[in-house]
């Protein structure tokens, strides 16, 4: 008789994502996962594989959720300048309210595991390209609709904004300062004028 899973895989994956995000890969033991997820080792291994496989699956969930969230965010904001401004300011506010100072799971994993994990490097390069493409398409939309008068290269601008978006998350782990971050963001946004 096949064993019936007594847990929701997506819920468990979300819990794993949050634990890896908060503690990092190396500091999260299999026992931490078993305790936090509320499932036994056999179920963890049968469903998700080893710790590394579970990490990669939870990391994929984070990246997918984050990318789709930004895409939806931009879709609901037809004004490109306002859209980027709200994206950056929302990120600042979320980081200030985060009592755990988790920052960004992607950035955290990059600084912890690169350059030693070559398979993760490939994933991170794709993540960067995906975000820069979303940023570029949004900037191009603003240029084509006449909202942006900038003569700057939009691909370079998309890369800069991606760097800033991630940089906000790094700085927030040190000492979130709303005014300091907002002032820096406003200078970057002035490039859209």
Residues (pLDDT < 50) of the chain are 1-2, 4
Q: Is residue 65 part of a domain?
A: no
pLDDT at residue 84, rounded to an integer: 98
CATH label of the domain that carries residue 135? 1.10.357.10
Residue 61: the pLDDT is 97
Considering the domain architecture, whether residues 182 and 99 belong to the same structural domain is answered as yes
Look at residues 70, 105, 110 and name the one whose alpha carbon lies nearest to residue 90: 70
Q: What is the pLDDT of residues 10-54, one digit of tens each?
A: 999 999 999 999 999 999 999 999 999 999 899 899 999 999 999
102 and 175 part of one domain? yes
DSSP 3: P
For residues 53 and 84, membership in a common domain is answered with: no
pLDDT value at residue 2: 47
CB 141 within 8 A of CB 61: no
Instruction: Give the pLDDT confidence score for residue 159 in this predicted structure.
Output: 98
111 within 8 A of 182, measured Cβ to Cβ: no
User: Both 31 and 82 in a single domain?
Assistant: no
Burial of 141 from C-beta contacts in 10 A (0-12 / 13-18 / 19+): middle
pLDDT for position 149: 87
Backbone φ and ψ for 31, nearest 5 degrees, come out as -65, -40
Contact, 30 vs 44, CB < 8 A?
yes
- Give the Cα separation of 67 and 65 in Å (integer): 6
Asked whether residue 66 is assigned to any structural domain, the reply reads: no
Find out whether 58 and 16 touch, Cβ atoms under 8 Å: yes
Quote the pLDDT of residue 65. Answer: 97
Same-domain check for residues 105 and 136: yes
- Residues 29 and 85 grouped into a single domain: no
Tally of structural domains, the chain: 2
**Does residue 171 contact residue 181 with C-beta atoms inside 8 Å?**
yes
Task: Find out whether the peptide bond into 115 is cis, omega within 30 degrees of 0.
Answer: yes
Residue 98 CB partners (closer than 8 Å, separation 6+): 172
Range of the domain at 50: 1-58
- pLDDT, residue 172, reads 82
Question: Residue 70: inside a domain, yes or no?
Answer: no
């Amino acid at each position: 008789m096949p064993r019936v899973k007594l847990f929701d895989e997506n819920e468990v994956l979300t819990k794993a994502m949050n634990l890896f995000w908060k503690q990092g890969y190396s500091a999260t033991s299999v026992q931490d996962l078993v305790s936090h997820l509320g499932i036994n080792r056999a179920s963890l291994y049968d469903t998700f594989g080893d710790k590394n496989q579970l990490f990669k699956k939870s990391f994929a969930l984070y990246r997918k959720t984050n990318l789709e969230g930004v895409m939806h965010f931009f879709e609901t904001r037809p004004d490109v300048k306002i859209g980027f401004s709200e994206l950056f300011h929302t990120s600042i506010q979320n980081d200030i309210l985060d009592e755990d100072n988790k920052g960004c799971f992607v950035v955290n994993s990059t600084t912890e595991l690169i350059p030693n994990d070559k398979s993760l490097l490939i994933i991170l390069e794709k993540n960067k390209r995906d975000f820069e493409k979303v940023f570029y398409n949004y900037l191009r939309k603003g240029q084509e609709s006449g909202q942006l008068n900038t003569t700057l290269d939009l691909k370079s601008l998309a890369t800069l904004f991606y760097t800033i978006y991630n940089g906000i998350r790094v700085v927030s782990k040190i000492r979130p300062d709303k005014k300091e971050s907002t002032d820096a963001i406003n200078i970057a946004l002035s490039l859209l004028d």
